Structure 1
Amino acid sequence: MKKLVEVKDVCKVYNPGENEVRALDHVSLIIGEGEFVAIIGQSGSGKSTLMNMLGCLDTPTSGKYFLHGQDVSHMTDDEQSDVRNREIGFIFQGFNLIPSLTALENVELPLIYRGVGKKERELLSMNALSKVGLGQRMTHKPNEMSGGQQQRVAIARAIAQAPPILLADEPTGNLDSGSSREIISIIKKLYAEGRTVIIITHDPGIAKQARRIITISDGRIVSDIINPDYVEE
């Protein structure tokens, strides 16, 4: 399996010195192309800091992070932004949709920033919304949709330009159990199509939906297993 993500001896230290906090403490990790990984940990475990590193939203105090073989550890903000646009589709717990825009317009928005032409971005957005089962809701605004539907719009926005990595931060955290199952089902189907999926969660039930489970505690990886109970969608 070809390496997609490689984290080498990464530390993230806040308040260096006597009162320092090691949010990440010598973390090393490899994720191959086409894997489905859950990173699980309780509040304060370091999982959110690790997500920010993997998503090129932050840089390590020490150590290296390679994405597609490129060292992205100490890039400038602009360089990291370029990498995020090319490589990563984000799904956030809070949906992050713009209330005044339709589902289609919400999905199109990041493509505008990436310089995608009008016809192409409209086609990409329509295809993405259809893929998540919202082909009939493209003209609806967020307040006209359920929480589960809003999260599907967020997924469509993340996958519209087919980024290599789908990075989901507590993707079912604001949803009821029925909507949560629907979202996990969609994510599993995207994985089955060949996408690399990384879910950050505190919920063991969500983590057990992934093929590989990495547990982090006190800034360190304490276990990394292939899930023996994984069920294909």
Structure 2
Amino acid sequence: MEELVRIKNMYKIYNPGEDEVRALDGVDITIHEGEYVAIIGQSGSGKSTLMNMLGCLDVPTSGSYYLHNQDVSQMKDNDLAQIRNKEIGFIFQGFNLIANLDAIGNVELPLIYRGISKGARQKIAKQALSIVGLEKRMKHKPSEMSGGQQQRVAVARAIAAKPPVILADEPTGNLDTKTTKEIMEILRELHRAGRTVIVITHDDEIAEQAARVIKLKDGKIVADYMNQQGEE
């Protein structure tokens, strides 16, 4: 497997000086294409900060982040936006759907920014919604769908353009047990299809479903292991 993510000696420091907070404190991570990784930590561990770095939503105080052999750690906002659009599919806990758009419209939205034609966008969106089992809900707006269905739309939006990385931030945090299992099964199927899946979570049960688990505490990696019981 080729190297997809390489983070080297990364620091994120807030309030430098006497009262500084080291949200990330010398983090080193390498993730290869096709891996299924869970990054776990409790509140204050640094996992949300690391998610922001992995997703090119922020830049580190120091250290490097190579994504597909390209150093993105010191890029400007416009360049980071292009990287996010092309390289990363986001799945958030809060779904982040547009209320006045139907399912197809929500999935199409990031494809518009890629300059994909209307006909091609609709075809891609329909395929993505079919993958997550929403063939019959494509014209429904978020208010007309359950929380689980809304999260499926969010997954479809994330995978539609086939980005190299699927980055899921607490993807089941607002879902019941049954729906959580369904969403996690979709993520497993994406991994089996060759996608790189990175899940950020505080939940041990969610983390243990991944093939690899990285544990954070106080901004440092305290464990990084292959999970025998997780996804192969």
TM range (shorter): over 0.9
| Alignment partners' CA distance in 1, 2:86 and 2:99 | 26
The code of the aligned residue for 1:110 comes to: P
Q: Deviations over 1:94-149 (max 9, x none)?
A: 00011111001110111112211101110000000000000110001111111000
Asked if residue 151 in structure 1 is aligned to residue 151 in structure 2, the reply is yes
Q: Map 1:75-86 to 2 at 5 A.
A: 75-86=75-86
In structure 1, distance between residues paired with 2:83 and 2:168 = 17
User: Contact 2:103–2:153 (CA<8 Å) still a contact in 1?
Assistant: yes
List runs of 5+ in structure 1 lacking aligned partners. none
Answer whether contact 2:40 2:47 (CA < 8 A) is retained. yes
Let me know the Cα RMSD of the aligned residues. 0.7
Q: Which residue number in structure 2 is paired with residue 109 of structure 1?
A: 109
TM-score where L is the length of structure 2: 0.99
Q: Any unmatched runs of 5+ in structure 2?
A: none
Provide Cα deviations, 1:54-93, integer angstroms capped at 9, x if missing partner: 0000001010000000000100000000111110000000
Residue matched to 2:60: 60
TM-score between the two structures when normalised by the length of structure 1: 0.99
Query: Which residue of the partner structure matches residue 136 of structure 1?
Result: 136
Q: Distance in 2 between matches of 1:60 and 1:230?
A: 31
How far apart in 1 are the matches of 2:40 and 2:187?
17
Percentage identity across paired residues of the two chains = 64
Check if 1:206 corresponds to 2:206. Answer: yes
Aligned to 1:25: 25
Return the offset for 1:231: 4.5
Q: Distance in 2 between matches of 1:229 and 1:197?
A: 17
Q: Distance in 1 between matches of 2:17 and 2:96?
A: 36
Which residue of structure 2 lines up, in the alignment, with residue 14 of structure 1? 14
* Superposition pairs of residues 78-227 of structure 1, within 5 angstroms: 78-227=78-227
SS in 2 for 1:89: strand
